[in-house]
Structure 1
Amino acid sequence: MRSPPRPARRRVLLGAAGLAAATALGGTAAFRALASRRGLATRTRAGLAFGTVAALTVAGPDEPALDAALDDGFAAIRAVEAAASLLRPDSALSRLNRAGYLDAPPADLTAMLAFALDLARRTDGAFDPTVQPLWPLWSEASARGEKPEAAALRAVVARIGWRRVRLTPERIAMEPGTALTLNALIQGHAADRVMAALRARGIEDAFVDTGEFGARGTHADGTPWRLGIADPRRTETLAAVIAPFTGFAATSGDYQMCFSADRADHHIFDPATGRSPRDLSSVTVTAESGLLADGLSTACMVLGAARGRDLVAGFPGCTTHFIGKA
């Protein structure tokens, strides 16, 4: 399971041949020119979210509707952050972790947690939102240039277990010593919420980057969206390209936040051992929802390629791209 923020960018966005031309000709201005040839206006707005930069791009004939859609999209992002960002001490999830219970939890939090607990059940705990206590253990040891002592690791693993959480629409409660992270889901869920807000405004062509990706319609020049998957050992290059790209995609990798120079120890944890899984460098999953893509990509990192494929096969419409350790 993944724990706190993922600061680096992981994939390269391509919008078909038109985006390469737009970059060469001046970026945003060229992108707008491509849209205008189709009788469309375009807007792109970026802002800090989830410890990284979120960016939303929309196109359509009605400029005020585009601006309103972007307002709604970022409002959705802020609502998700308020529900479950561990970067915010006032978020509902941060308050839950401090108190051990939370009454009247917000809908975004209950939706993510319900999905997390169901995925934990489906994976026999390979995906587990209660891995949060591993994060301070590993980060503090890493700051000393060390790894956690075996006894300390065993003590923290004993506090992990998704069955330690009780969820109802009215209340979330946890056993003493339990702490939750939804960082393996929050950006995918945010992509869902943003895309829903854009659809509600009648936006047909959109690309959403909340740290995970969503796309509908087409690129500004009328060609399909494409999504590049970064090579985990040379992140400035592409390992593969998803084309055409519609729906949602999420990537989990060993290269975002590492506790060892060889990337054997990183921010994705096997809940059974408290250590990082060793078989894969990255997994990209496409799905009909960002929440599903995000959760499955993390689960597959823990399960490995063979068991991960079996898991994803149970969700129609999903695809996977596995990259092994170099």
Structure 2
Amino acid sequence: MSASGIRLRPAPERRRILAGAFGALAAVASGPAALRALAGAQGRQAATRAGLAFGTTVSLTLAGARGADLEPAFRAGFAAIRAVEAAASLYRPDSALARLNRDGSLDDPDPLLVEQLRFALDLAAASGGAFDPTVQPFWTLWAEAAARGERPDERALIEAVARVGWREVEISAGAIRLARPGMGVTLNGLVQGYAADRVLAALAAHGIADAFVDTGEFGALGRHADGTPWRLGIGGPRRGGDLAAVIEPFTGFAATSGDDATVFSVDHRDHHIFDPATGTSPQALSAVTVTAPSGLLADALSTAAFVLGPERGAALVVRYPGCAVRFTAKV
């Protein structure tokens, strides 16, 4: 806790307000044992493995024929997560992204970092700068101020804004450069969705047709081992509340940006999602959930739409085929 009692903890800049179910949400009522029995009666099995990545918990649930060896697929899935972390995690001081921020340049960058950063810059252009991967200086400023029980003053915000600008990132296959001193890049607005993409691709390469992936954002293939569809519960604007909606069947990808992850004020006015133009948090919304054909797209669009607000955010999302958005007003 900071001196002001504000929750300030190591957490991804994007934390889900989605409640992933182990298989169908019916598990809440009938219990995992009942689901296992149903799966067994159909000659099927399901298994779940969990770990830590991106400063949070991650888990993979795989379904397959009874007796099938799922362990190679699990290993491939977690290897995919580790590869994304090595490229773009701010929680690893040895990641390629951490080294870029430390030195202001990076030669022979990890191809996974290049892919994510190119996408981020393309979305920055498409969103008119609402999505900006160079907002890392705001996080540093607000975290330091909150630790003192304060808000940044106007002068500090102006100075931080001067170090933010997606057009100042120079990127090629051979190098990445940050044009101005004091700049910093964060991909926390898309990295967990990108990881979900990489995991499901790795699982599919191992013959897995039915899987539910939680990398901090969600992805699903096929169905649960008991034959029921995967379901995804969309939580209310504050943790611990009732579900606002349920996506059923759930396949593809979903991501949420919300004001209840890392907060800098007890009223959720100030939090980890920043308007790149001001260095402050947008005030219209508590949460934005996007479903999309890729985790990368779902994750990044939810951040951009949060900054843009309902009208302009919806206009951005509908430009991308197969995407849908749900807005939750500020509470």
- Distance in 2 (alpha carbons) for counterparts of 1:236 and 1:221: 28
Unaligned runs of 5+ in 1: none
Does the CA-based 8 Å contact 1:81-1:88 persist in structure 2?
Answer: yes
- 1:125-158 Cα deviation digits (max 9, x unpaired): 1100000011111011111111001001100101
- Distance in 1 (alpha carbons) for counterparts of 2:224 and 2:241: 22
- Select 2:321's aligned residue among 297, 316, 323: 316
Q: Match of 2:56?
A: 52
State, as a whole percentage, how many aligned pairs show the same letter.
Answer: 62
> How much does 1:39 deviate?
1.1
1:19 aligns with 2:27: yes
Q: Match of 1:241?
A: 246
Aligned AA (1:311)? L
Question: Bigger shift: 232-241 or 272-281?
Answer: 232-241
- 1:171-221 Cα deviation digits (max 9, x unpaired): 111112211000001100000000000100111110000000000101222
- 1:259-298 Cα deviation digits (max 9, x unpaired): 0111010000000000000000000000000000000000
1:298 aligns with 2:318: no
Q: Match of 1:145?
A: 149
Q: Match of 1:209?
A: 214
Unaligned runs of 5+ in 2: 1-9
Q: Match of 1:169?
A: 173
Does the CA-based 8 Å contact 1:282-1:322 persist in structure 2?
Answer: yes
- Distance in 2 (alpha carbons) for counterparts of 1:17 and 1:166: 45
Q: Match of 2:44?
A: 40
Match of 1:293, SS state, is: helix
Q: Match of 2:283?
A: 278
Does the CA-based 8 Å contact 1:18-1:221 persist in structure 2?
Answer: no
Match of 2:219, SS state, is: strand
1:232 aligns with 2:206: no
Does the CA-based 8 Å contact 1:188-1:291 persist in structure 2?
Answer: yes
- Distance in 2 (alpha carbons) for counterparts of 1:55 and 1:268: 25
Aligned AA (1:75)? A
- Distance in 2 (alpha carbons) for counterparts of 1:18 and 1:234: 21
1:83 aligns with 2:90: no
Match of 2:240, SS state, is: strand
Does the CA-based 8 Å contact 1:188-1:293 persist in structure 2?
Answer: yes
Does the CA-based 8 Å contact 2:43-2:66 persist in structure 1?
Answer: no
- Distance in 2 (alpha carbons) for counterparts of 1:59 and 1:34: 13
- Distance in 2 (alpha carbons) for counterparts of 1:17 and 1:100: 46
- Distance in 2 (alpha carbons) for counterparts of 1:22 and 1:36: 15
Change (3 A) 1:51 1:31: farther
TM-score w.r.t. the length of structure 2 is 0.93
Aligned AA (2:28)? A
- Distance in 2 (alpha carbons) for counterparts of 1:233 and 1:291: 24
TM-score w.r.t. the length of structure 1 is 0.94
Aligned AA (2:27)? L
Match of 1:133, SS state, is: helix
Q: Match of 1:265?
A: 270
Does the CA-based 8 Å contact 1:4-1:135 persist in structure 2?
Answer: no
Aligned AA (1:309)? A
- 1:57-81 Cα deviation digits (max 9, x unpaired): 0011265541110000000000000
- Distance in 2 (alpha carbons) for counterparts of 1:47 and 1:195: 16
Match of 2:134, SS state, is: helix
> How much does 1:21 deviate?
4.2
Q: Match of 1:96?
A: 100
Aligned length: 320
- Distance in 1 (alpha carbons) for counterparts of 2:302 and 2:322: 14
Change (3 A) 1:207 1:303: same
Change (3 A) 1:304 1:95: same
Alignment of 1:99-114 (within 5 A): 99-114=103-118
> How much does 1:163 deviate?
0.6
Change (3 A) 1:306 1:8: closer
- Distance in 2 (alpha carbons) for counterparts of 1:118 and 1:217: 31
Change (3 A) 1:267 1:17: closer
Aligned AA (1:56)? L
- Distance in 1 (alpha carbons) for counterparts of 2:30 and 2:111: 40
